[in-house]
Every structure is written in C-alpha cells, then in structure tokens.
A and B are shown apart, each in its own frame.
Chain A
Amino acid sequence: MQESATVETFLKERTPEAFSPVIDEHIGMLRSFVYRIVLNEHDTDDIVQESLLAAYTSADSFKGNSKFSTWLCRIAANRSFSILRKGRRTIVTDGEDCPEMKDASTSHTPDRPMIGNETHGQVMTAISALPEHLRAAITLIAIDEKDPDEAAYILGCPKATLYWRIHKARKLLAKDLGELIR
C-alpha cells in the first residue's frame, strides 16, 4: 500500500517526533469517523486519543495489508463499540438538541435535497436510534463511500455481514425517514 511520506517516516523512525505529523494528518478524519458512531464529542476525543496512542505503541503490528488510515479506523471502531457497550449508552437526541447547522444552501442541488434544521434533527434521531454496528456500516458506505472490502476490514466483519448491516440500516432509516425519501 502506498502511504504518505509522514506515515512512511513514522513507520521507519517510530519516534514521537515522527508521529506528530501523522496525528496532524489523521486526527480530523478520525474525529469525523468516530463521532458518527458515538455521536458525542467527549467520547470521540477519548477514543481518538486512545486509538492514536494504541497505533503508536503497536505500530509493529501494522503489516501494511491495509492503508495506515484504514488500520487506524479499525482500532477506533473497536474502541467505539467497546465504549458504547460498556456504557450501554443510548444516544437520545431530538431536533432541538441538534448542533447548529451550517448553511446548507451551498450544497443544495435539484437532485440533492437541502436539509433544514427540522430534517437534520429527524435524521439525527433516526441515525441515533440505529444500533452502533449498523450506524458504522451505513456511514462508511453511504457517507464515506468506502470500498466494501475496506469497510468490512474496519468493522472486523465478513463482507456478507457488512452488506446485511447496510441493508438493515437502510430499511430502518427508510422506515423512520419515509416522508423525506418518498
């Protein structure tokens, strides 16, 4: 796998100094990825911190069979599921509690519905209600547009299971968001 120069350097040197630019390179991506699973800023940062620390201390177990970023996502996904399970956390949101939204008008195209505050809240509620494995699967495929093999690796499941989770997630979301996608 072709890695960025920063990752290559870190894998060679394995020093905190070499890891610093790797953190810069991946922290944003990891935060987005984890946030979509746990939907909580505090837990997200804890997970990102643990995951990057784990990646540093266990860099020798990275065999290069996947991209470094994919490997990081896998560590972070495991940690996220673990945190959610340990806490038996139920993510409850409603439209009013949703974070303020950005101006969506810039991304609006005729075949791409612009979503307003209310809709954003509705989608948030529907996504929050999904079991974490389904949420992770659908966001990896529908939002990140990951390759199914890569998504399956990140989630540590066979591809068939990934497809099933996506199918199930779509079904549940379609049920909850029926009026938006008619």
Chain B
Amino acid sequence: MNKNQLDNILKDWDKNLKPEFQDASALKKKILSDIRTGRKTISPENDYFFIRKTLVYNLAAAAAVFIIAIGVFILNFKSSKSGHGAMTPAMLALISKEEMSDVKKIANEVCSLFNDKVDWIIRSGDKMEIKPSESPNGSSSKSRILVRQTVFRKTAKGWEKVHIADIITTTDQQVVFKDDSKDGYLWTHQAGDNVIALEGQMDIKVDGETINLDYSCGQDTETPVMLKTIKNSNSEYIVYQTVNRI
C-alpha cells in the first residue's frame, strides 16, 4: 500500500466534499440563544458519555473480579500443589486442558457480564484487568485466543514458575498495557490455520526486576516459544509465550 497515495486520495476526497449546511449564522444564533436561555447540555471534555457507562462497567468489573478472584485462587492453589519434577520450561509453559477450561470459564463469565463486549482480559496473579469494547459490535464474532507469558526462575531444584500473565484477546485486537511510565501493547493476527502473528512491547516485573519484552513473531498455537533469557549475578530468568485458541 502506498501510504502517501492513500493520504492524497483522502485529501482529495475531503476537498471534494460539499456538505449542504444551513447558514452558519443561523446555527450561531441558535447556540447564543441556548446560552442566553441557560439550556443545559452535555458535560464537556472528559468522555461525558462514558460517565454512566463507566460507573456501570466499574461496578460490573468489581463484581466480576470478585467472582473471578475466587476462581483464580482455586487455580493458583491447584497449580502450586502440582509437582513439576525435572520438566523443562518449554514443557512447563504448555497450557493444560484444565487450565484452558478455567480460562474459557473466566472468559465466558466476563464476556456474558459485558454482553460480549469485551476487547481483552489480562490476568496476572490475583489481578485482573478487563477492557470493555468500544466497538458497538463487540468482539463476539471473532475467535478468542489466550496468550500466556510465563517467567521461570532457575533454582537449585530446576526451573520454577514465578510469573504467569494470561491475556485473553481476539485476533487483530490491540491490547494496551498501562504502566506508570509508559504504555505497552500486544497485537495478534491470525496468520494461518494454526499460526498467530504477535507483536508486543511490554515490561514484566518479577522479583523487583523489570523484564522488557519487545518482539514480533509468528507462533504455532499450543507450542511454547522462548521470548527472552536474562542472566545476572543473582539469578537467571527465562520467558516463554504460549498461544492457544479458546
């Protein structure tokens, strides 16, 4: 695609637009008359139409988080009990059927709570962030995927999972991570039947360390891929990413 050519076409389109507006002075008169009669109007700058919606979403999100926190607690409890033996990080990064079924349950619960208008869900430890959809059509028609990023730390006994972040999203949807200092993002695209293209920039905080990820890759579903290794004097970390269809 030629970006400049497209922009020029858009500029020409705009120049050729000829909306048939009423006289600007008539509109101005109406505005001044509204002002003089003290007509109330929309609240101004800050997403006025989101105010009520946001309140409802916040309440719904709080309820959802509460319900889901119980599920997450049970899930964490279960995974902390399971032994890992001498498994490699790639093996440990695989997502089990039980975990997928829990993720599905959570995704369905949250989506039904928001009438299927959820862009993405991020679950990390006991925290969950839900992004209600801005699109009127929501995201129900698209296929959901789970992107899991797992950070392992090397210990004397082998590799230990120290951080799991689950991102439930739909393909072609940009997930934006809010951070104190900067925003990160994850973008996914269905590149083939079982291949997902991913592009991401984010910081993961583990044990006081910040692991910066900046990558783009194509990845087979249900196949963990190593994103980064970090080795310093005290510890060694490895980050894996797994993508599964939900």
Interface residues of A in 23-43 (CB under 8 A from B): 23-24, 27-28, 31-32, 35-36, 41
B70 → chain A, closest Cβ, in Å? 32
Residues 1-36 of chain B, each 1 if its beta carbon lies under 8 Å from chain A, else 0:
111011111111111111111101001101110111
B119 → chain A, closest Cβ, in Å? 10
Interface-central residue, B17, B48, B183, by most chain A CB under 10 Å: B17
Q: Does A124 contact B (CB under 8 A)?
A: yes
The reply to whether B41 and A115 form a contact with Cβ atoms under 8 Å apart is no
The reply to whether B34 and A114 form a contact with Cβ atoms under 8 Å apart is no
Chain A residues with CB under 8 Å of B136's CB are: 85, 88
The reply to whether B13 and A16 form a contact with Cβ atoms under 8 Å apart is no
Partner of B13, one of A20, A45, A100, A120: A120
The reply to whether A115 and B45 form a contact with Cβ atoms under 8 Å apart is no
Asked whether A54 and B5 contact (CB < 8 A) given A41-B20, A44-B21, A115-B13, the answer is: no
Residues 130-172 of chain B, each 1 if its beta carbon lies under 8 Å from chain A, else 0:
0000111000000000000000000000000000000000001
When chains A and B are docked, how far (Å) is the Cα of A31 from the Cα of B23?
A: 12
When chains A and B are docked, how far (Å) is the Cα of A27 from the Cα of B26?
A: 12
Interface residues of A in 136-181 (CB under 8 A from B): 138-139, 142-143, 156, 158-161, 164, 168, 170-171, 173-174, 177, 180-181
The reply to whether B43 and A107 form a contact with Cβ atoms under 8 Å apart is no
Chain A residues with CB under 8 Å of B114's CB are: none
Asked whether A124 and B13 contact (CB < 8 A) given A50-B42, A85-B136, A181-B6, the answer is: yes
Question: Which residue of chain B lies nearest to A106 when distances are taken between CB atoms in the complex?
Answer: B15
Chain A residues with CB under 8 Å of B44's CB are: 54-55, 57-58, 61-62, 75
The reply to whether B32 and A16 form a contact with Cβ atoms under 8 Å apart is yes
A-to-B contact residues, CB < 8 Å: 16, 19-20, 23-24, 27-28, 31-32, 35-36, 41, 44-45, 48-58, 61-62, 71, 74-75, 78-79, 81-82, 85, 88, 99-102, 104, 107, 111-115, 119-120, 123-124, 127, 131, 133, 138-139, 142-143, 156, 158-161, 164, 168, 170-171, 173-174, 177, 180-181
B-to-A contact residues, CB < 8 Å: 1-3, 5-22, 24, 27-28, 30-32, 34-36, 39-49, 134-136, 172, 174, 176, 183, 185, 187
